[in-house]
């Protein structure tokens, strides 16, 4: 019984469409947001998607982008031989270091705030110090909506629904360039869902393919830099009407192969003009106001091929982010099971 966008209770000082408090229980501030929509019944129903015994990984390699955007650190991977270690035998360890947003990722509800109020989901006013403290706490008492808390609820197991925009655009001869601010609209999503025979259900995770990661695969770091350098990239239309539609479907989370899920640059709702990346529209609604995590840069080519082959576009989705206490972003470790 989740209120629709227009009926969400007013939150003082916040815009319409703020879901703070909606999922609070027993006087405790919620940290899971729309993952609360994944009830045991939703999970049991999602298991009925498992019919063919086929599994598809949705994870792009960490390090697939040689120089990630927004000044983020790319992958550093070190391999160490045991021969030179105290073990002095034949064998290896490795160490990786990377920004958790440099490839396929979940954005936690701490990742992006409502900009004017600087508040995160459920009114948290997070500081770097608090996030570091969360990292250090022994009992991980769910103060901040970070990704490690997903482990307390058994990770994410839900029904995934795929919207293969790229296949649709290719088939219909629609001109779409992921490396411009071309937009995927709600109308497109509804048309594709109809064509693919997909109906949305409460607690679904919707996954949208634009062709973005595929355009960056198998090319040099220099070429990747050229394609992304202008900070003008495709995505779902970033405006209030789109946010409202996503909330009203009662999705548990959203994901895609786009770098920000929504297009960049965002359009300022008041002026109608292009705005800075810091004012991303759907990031503010989804993460800060709704509590709906965003998946980005997922690898969706194999998923597209499998859905086409099996003739179905819904599946059992599992995802277990890294269990790093205080984690703001994480590789999703996501699998689609048919
Ligand atoms: C930003 O929020 C700037 O990045 P991302 O799109 O990776 O979430």
Full set of structural domains in the chain with CATH: 5-68+100-337 (3.50.30.50)
282 CA to centre of ligand 1 in angstroms: 11
CA distance 238 to 264: 9
Q: What angle do CA 222, 265, 117 make, to 5 degrees?
A: 125
Per-residue pLDDT of the chain (338 residues; tens, 9 = 90+): 899 999 999 999 999 999 999 999 998 899 999 999 999 999 999 999 999 999 999 999 999 999 998 889 999 999 999 998 999 999 999 999 999 999 999 999 999 999 999 999 999 877 777 776 665 555 545 578 999 999 999 999 999 999 999 999 999 999 999 999 999 999 999 999 999 999 999 999 999 999 999 999 999 999 999 998 888 999 999 999 999 999 999 999 999 999 999 999 999 999 999 999 999 999 999 999 999 999 999 999 999 999 999 999 999 999 999 999 889 999 999 999 99
Euclidean distance between CA atoms 123 and 148, whole angstroms: 19
**Mutate-to-test residue for ligand 1 from 111, 276, 295, 330, highest number of ligand atoms within 8 A of CB:** 111
What's the confidence (pLDDT) of residue 141?
56
Q: Ligand 1: which of 72, 213, 255, 296 to mutate, most ligand atoms within 8 Å of CB? A: 296
Position 170 scores a pLDDT of 98
Question: What does the pLDDT read at residue 264?
Answer: 98
CA atoms within 13 A on the CB side of 163: 27
Residue located nearest, by CA, to atom 2 of ligand 1: 112
283 C-beta closer than 6 A to ligand 1 = yes
Give residue 44's pLDDT: 98
What letter does residue 29 receive in the DSSP assignment?
A: P
In three-state secondary structure terms, 243 is helix
Residue-level pLDDT at 230? 83
For residue 135, the model assigns a pLDDT of 56
d(CA 144, CA 141): 8
What pLDDT is attached to residue 229?
Answer: 83
| Burial class, 283, CB count within 10 angstroms (exposed 0-12 / middle 13-18 / buried 19+) | buried
Give how far Cα 297 sits from Cα of 147, 189, 194, Å: 17, 18, 25
Span from the CA of 223 to the centroid of ligand 1 (angstroms): 21
Residue 336 token pair: 């689609």
Q: 308 in helix, strand or coil?
A: helix
Q: Is residue 101 lining ligand 1, measured as CB closer than 6 Å?
A: yes
The answer to whether the CB of 224 falls within 8 A of the CB of 216 is yes
3-state secondary structure of 186: helix
Q: What is the pLDDT of residue 142?
A: 59
User: From atom 8 of ligand 1, which residue's Cα is the shortest distance away?
Assistant: 260
For residues 94 and 77, is the Cβ–Cβ distance under 8 A? yes
Reference 301, options 170, 197, 120, 191; nearest CA is: 170
Atom of ligand 1 nearest to the CA of 107: 8
Question: How far, in Å, CA of 167 to CA of 156, rounded?
Answer: 27
User: How many A from CA of 191 to the centre of ligand 1?
Assistant: 27
Burial 233-244 (b: 16+ CB within 10 A, else e): bbbbbbbeebbb
Token representation of residue 66: 């040689």
Angstrom CA distances, 152 to 87, 139, 140, 147, 257, stand at 36, 11, 10, 10, 27
Q: Measured from the CB, is residue 320 less than 6 Å from ligand 1?
A: no
Q: How remote is the CA of residue 183 from the centroid of ligand 1, in Å?
A: 17
Q: Which atom of ligand 1 is nearest to the CA of 101?
A: 7
Mutate to test the pocket of ligand 1, among 102, 112, 228, 328 (most ligand atoms within 8 A of CB): 112
Q: Give the pLDDT confidence score for residue 139 in this predicted structure.
A: 52
């Amino acid at each position: 019984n989740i209120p629709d966008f227009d009926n969400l209770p007013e939150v003082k000082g916040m815009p319409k469409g703020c879901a703070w408090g909606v999922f609070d229980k027993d006087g405790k501030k919620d940290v899971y947001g729309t993952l609360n929509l994944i009830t045991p019944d939703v999970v049991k129903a999602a298991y009925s998607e498992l019919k063919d015994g086929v599994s598809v990984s949705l994870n792009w390699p960490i390090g697939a982008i040689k120089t990630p955007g927004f000044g983020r650190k790319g992958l550093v991977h070190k391999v160490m031989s045991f021969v030179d270690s105290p073990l002095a035998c034949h064998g290896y360890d490795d160490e990786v270091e990377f920004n958790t947003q440099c490839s396929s990722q979940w954005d936690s509800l701490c990742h992006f705030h409502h900009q004017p109020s600087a508040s995160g989901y459920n009114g948290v006013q997070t500081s770097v110090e608090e996030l570091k403290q969360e990292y250090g706490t022994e009992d991980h008492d769910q103060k901040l909506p970070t990704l490690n808390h997903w482990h307390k609820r058994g990770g994410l197991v839900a029904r995934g629904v795929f919207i293969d925009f790229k296949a649709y655009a290719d088939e219909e001869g629609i001109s779409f360039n992921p490396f411009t601010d071309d937009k995927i609209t709600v109308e497109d999503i509804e048309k594709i869902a109809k064509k693919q025979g997909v109906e949305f259900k409460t607690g679904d995770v919707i996954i949208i393919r634009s062709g973005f990661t595929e355009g960056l695969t198998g090319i040099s770091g220099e070429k990747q830099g050229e394609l992304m350098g202008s900070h003008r990239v495709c995505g779902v239309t970033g405006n209030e009407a789109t946010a409202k539609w996503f909330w009203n479907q009662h999705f548990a989370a959203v994901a895609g192969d786009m770098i920000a899920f929504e297009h960049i640059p965002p359009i300022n709702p008041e002026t109608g003009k292009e705005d800075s990346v810091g004012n991303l529209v759907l990031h503010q609604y989804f993460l800060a106001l709704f509590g709906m995590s965003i998946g980005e840069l997922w690898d969706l080519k194999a998923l597209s091929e499998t859905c086409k082959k099996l003739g179905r576009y819904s599946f059992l989705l599992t995802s277990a982010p890294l269990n790093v206490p205080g984690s703001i972003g994480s590789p999703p470790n996501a699998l689609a099971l048919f």
